[in-house]
Amino acid sequence: MPTSKEDLAKLTKLGKGAASKAERSLEVFPNHSGDLEVELHCTEFTCRCPLTNQPDYAEIMINYTPDKYVVESKSMKLYLETYRDVGVFHEHLAVDIGKDFVKFVKPKKCEVNVMFNVRGGIAISAKWKMK
């Protein structure tokens, strides 16, 4: 089924170029498939250490099974951008992203995996799953 004008009607960030503002919200469009699994793979995530303010770099994987809605990817990109200058522990980040994702997208299933690069000889990964 092709994307319809009704599918696009509520999207405010897609196609707006630099006018799109990074914010902690996600936009969605209707899921036309009964059986769909989606994987979002962000390879260029950055945030800051909450104590030292040093930059941290990570890959983020979000795997989910949509119910009525699918997340619009540009709004996801802008959402993740809001963490760029935020001090957050890696483990807290997985939980925060997961809970926000569920709040806005309302998927059947969701899993968020954050995989941080090595810093100080340790690489940290944290996984959050919807219950």
Known catalytic residues?
49, 56
CA nearest neighbour of 73 among 47, 38, 110: 38
Structural domain total, the chain: 1
Residue 49 lies in a domain: yes
- What is the pLDDT, as a whole number, of residue 13? 72
pLDDT category of residue 3 using cuts at 50, 70 and 90: confident
Which H/E stretch holds residue 77?
A: helix 73-81
* CATH number (domain holding residue 123): 3.30.1130.10
pLDDT category of residue 33 using cuts at 50, 70 and 90: confident
pLDDT category of residue 12 using cuts at 50, 70 and 90: low
Residue 15 lies in a domain: no
